[in-house]
Chains A and B, each alone.
Chain A
Amino acid sequence: MLRTMIFSWKTLFRDKANTFWILLFPIILGSFFKIAFGNLGATENISTIPVAIVKSDSVYDEQLDNVITQLSTEKGGFLEASYCTEEEAKEQLKEKEIVGILHSGEMVRLSVSENMKEQSMQQSILKTFVDRYNMQVNALTELLPDHMEQYQEMIDALSAEITYNANESLGRHPDQSPYTQYFFNLLAMQCLFTAVGGVLVACHNQANLSELAKRITVAPTHKLIRIVPELLAVTIYEFVLNAVGFAYMAFILKIQLLDRLPFTVLTMFLGCFVGVSLGFFIGCFGHFDQTAKQGLVFAVTMPLCFLSGLMIGNMNILIENHLPIVNRLNPAALLTDSFYRLSQYEDLSRFYTNILTIIGFIILFCVTGFLMTRRKTYAQL
């Protein structure tokens, strides 16, 4: 087993072009991110979000008031709310004194300025808050006619939940640049790109994919004994290369990544493992050559990274609001979220769920890939 791993490391290390790009790509992209976003974080403070409340002079004002009070900065929340008319609010928004306007009513409506891209993170938080509020109010409206006696309890529960979520989102490092999120996405992408190495493992062990695999397949060695050490070797090698990229981001670019380092390292290792096993799984499908399969890997991983927010920062929030299952099943989103949770949350229960899901994916990809290759004779070589 160790012998197979040593030979795998030799072949991987001596593949200079591959090693060079795996090392260099995240460093280059990380540097670009730093140049592009490095100073933007300083202009945005997400610890408090100034908003204007426009009342509707209806029964709905009171319930919004209750919640806003719970979330106000005086009570340790994140909203700096001011009550005014719609015209005044619009003027404040135009002058960039506030991030958004909350219009009271049966359903609370949010107005933000399209010209305030630098406050997109705060806008996203407000959007999440409004969506959640409306959803809860809707639920209350349906339940109240039958349970009027529990009105106050329900209002308290609503306030408590939104307060909890708001506090949760403020995190361990409220001063952290919101653009650190992009570096989490980059780390997730790095991890998933190790899938290219996984394809290599499949191509070494499927006789219909390469001459080398034919020679290896006719040897009297059980496929499991060949595949497992090779998968481990590729994972460890890619993890080391990714660690270099990680160190560059942490120590040279000074991105705040060193919090809870053991957990971060574990996430990166499992990220590499899920990447390699995904590549192995893809590599075991069909009768295409290695280059085509590596192309397929990029065709799969890039959309996953896109959905996790690598190209558009709010993408994962949009998905979370409309199709959260995608975020629960997208390995890139799971990795990004894990890094984010480690950086921002005291409570790590969601992090543990993410890690367990990733381990589940590793087992699924490896077992399925292995079942596709074991004891196989081919219809065509």
Chain B
Amino acid sequence: MNETAVKVKELVKRYRELLAVDHLNLEIKQGEIFGLLGPNGSGKTTTINCILSLLSYDNGEIEIFEKPMKADAYDIKAKIGVVMQNVAVFEELTVQENIDYFCGLYINDKQLRKQYVEEAIQFTGLEDFRKFYPKKLSGGLLRRLNIACGIAHKPKLIILDEPTVAVDPQSRNRILEGIMELNRQGATIIYTSHYMEEVEQICSRIAIIDNGKCIAQGTAEELKKLIKKREIITIDILSVTADDIEALKALPHVYSVTFEDSKLTILCDGGSHNLVRVLDYLQGKEYSFGHIHSALPTLNDVFLEITGKELRD
């Protein structure tokens, strides 16, 4: 499927003097899991709210399924499911009633709605909690209910705004697996998060946003190729001389060597067997060393290298 699900063109949103979204361009294809990654306050949720026509914006165009998105575009809205950042359910309705209520805003047929509600309950693993009121649910279960309310009507486009905030690892895994399953069933997903591991795990394409601007866009691998850093080697060692640091820098593909707090950090810009060459050098000098770690760059490294700051603040 190569048709466009969401197209955002030159979107600008100001809150008085603050430029929350700055000429943002996005194109999300149908069938993708598209990640919007950025630190808190980067403009992810504002962008989502503009896409949903909840927020007015100062400039730009937004199309969903190749039609302009407006507050009264009910035909488009019928195809969208939203899972808000904060849990949005009725405290006075049970799990099943909440899902039924929100599903009923999209589905009029009583039998079909009943079937969809049951499927949403099973999909989110809330079978044992259907008669529970939200205040009796744990944080993870509450998040699952929040998701069930957003997806019960089987939307073609699902927008999830940080759905795993304050969720235990078990529930988080279940949620992420569920999102991938929804995508396998044909839904296009927009997933916003500041958890880079999650985004890297489930998203087919990612846009990194900072200060309302899209600073990089592509697959996780494409994004990592944007930066020089390809391998990070860290070694616990008591001491090294300045000559050793210079000698290590002279090894192939090594472009940075630092020693701080008994930790030697070596950055490589590609190549293979970098770790073997470093260890050969240290053994040749008869250094004794402890813990050794070699890692590939993360999206945080991408973010750090592009913006000069950490993704998580």
Contact B84 A381 (CB under 8 A): no
Q: Which residues of B have CB within 8 Å of A12?
A: 92
Take A218-B52, A381-B55 as given contacts and tell me if A212 and B89 are in contact as well, using a CB distance cutoff of 8 Å.
yes
**Which residues of chain A from 325 to 381 have any CB-CB distance to chain B below 8 Å in the complex?**
375-381
Q: Which residues of A have CB within 8 Å of B87?
A: 211
Other-chain residue from B56, B78, B102 in contact with A378 (beta carbon distance below 8 A): B56
Binds B, one of A72-80, A177-185, A219-227, A234-242: A219-227
CB distance from A333 to the nearest CB of B (A): 35
Contact B105 A221 (CB under 8 A): yes
Q: Which residues of B have CB within 8 Å of A379?
A: 15, 55-56
Contact A219 B106 (CB under 8 A): yes
Contact B106 A220 (CB under 8 A): yes
CB distance from A372 to the nearest CB of B (A): 14
Quick check: is B228 within 8 A (CB to CB) of the other chain?
no
Quick check: is A147 within 8 A (CB to CB) of the other chain?
no
Interface residues on B, range: 20 to 34
Q: Which residue of A lies closest to B88 (CB)?
A: A211
Take A218-B82, A222-B74, A378-B55 as given contacts and tell me if A7 and B88 are in contact as well, using a CB distance cutoff of 8 Å.
no
Quick check: is A3 within 8 A (CB to CB) of the other chain?
yes
Contact B92 A11 (CB under 8 A): yes
Question: How many contacts between A and B, using CB within 8 angstroms?
Answer: 74
Contact A216 B84 (CB under 8 A): no
Q: Which residues of A have CB within 8 Å of B74?
A: 220-222
Instruction: Render B55-71 as a binary contact track against A, CB cut-off 8 A, 1 for contact.
Output: 11000000000000001
Q: Which residue of A lies closest to B90 (CB)?
A: A11
Quick check: is A322 within 8 A (CB to CB) of the other chain?
no
Quick check: is A260 within 8 A (CB to CB) of the other chain?
no
CB distance from A143 to the nearest CB of B (A): 62
Other-chain residue from B15, B56, B72, B77 in contact with A219 (beta carbon distance below 8 A): B77
Other-chain residue from B78, B88, B104 in contact with A212 (beta carbon distance below 8 A): B88
Q: Which residues of A have CB within 8 Å of B52?
A: 218
3 closest pairs, A vs B, by CB? A219-B105, A211-B88, A14-B92
Using CB atoms and an 8 Å cutoff, list the residues of chain B in contact with chain A: 15, 49, 52-56, 71-72, 74-75, 77-78, 80, 82, 84, 86-90, 92-93, 97, 101-102, 104-106, 149-150
A-B contact pairs, 10 of them (CB 8 A): A12-B92, A210-B88, A212-B90, A214-B54, A215-B150, A219-B77, A221-B105, A375-B71, A377-B55, A381-B54
